[in-house]
Amino acid sequence: MNTTTIFSSLQRITDAYNDKLQSISDVQFQTSPPIGGWSYSEVYAHIFDASLLSLHAMEDCLNGKGKDKPTAFAVKLILFFGALPPGRYKIPKQLEGRAKVITKKEAQDLIGQFKKQLEADYKQIPRARDNVKSKHPRLGYLNARQWFRFTEVHLKHHLKQLHRIEKSFAQ
């Protein structure tokens, strides 16, 4: 896992979210798509809230607040291949009430917060200890580098969701 490559990818993905945000009207941003499920607004609220929480978990690992626990082999495969297995997933119980309808301005602010925190945390990764891990709600224990990679995987996953929403509005 090359952290410089992941950092560059995270910047590109975040720029893609920002570009997509600019192309969506205020009304459509908060409208449930024809296919059902979350609106653009709820996706942005979830993904950047969850990404900030992932960076916080990474910071805990960097600061020695964690446990020396194994990472499941299946999770290592997800991180190695850089993708979640196909399918739709239910939001973890811990995050259920956090996805909400927000404005485009609030989404822009979340993106800005994420980018600022990402930059600061990226600089700290070289001091990460591989055996200090914090718990992910579904994947088990991840160390700082794994949280960093997971953030990339999760952002890419939801970018695909935005494309599905866009297609449903186009039909």
Q: What is the pLDDT of residues 16-69, one digit of tens each?
A: 999 999 999 999 999 999 888 889 999 999 999 999 999 999 999 999 999 999
- Range list of β-strands (E), the chain: 133-136, 140-143
CA distances to 2, 23, 102, 120, 139 from 72, rounded to whole Å, are: 20, 39, 35, 28, 8
Winning range, highest mean pLDDT, from 83-87, 99-103, 118-122: 118-122
Pull the structure tokens for residue 24: 């969506």
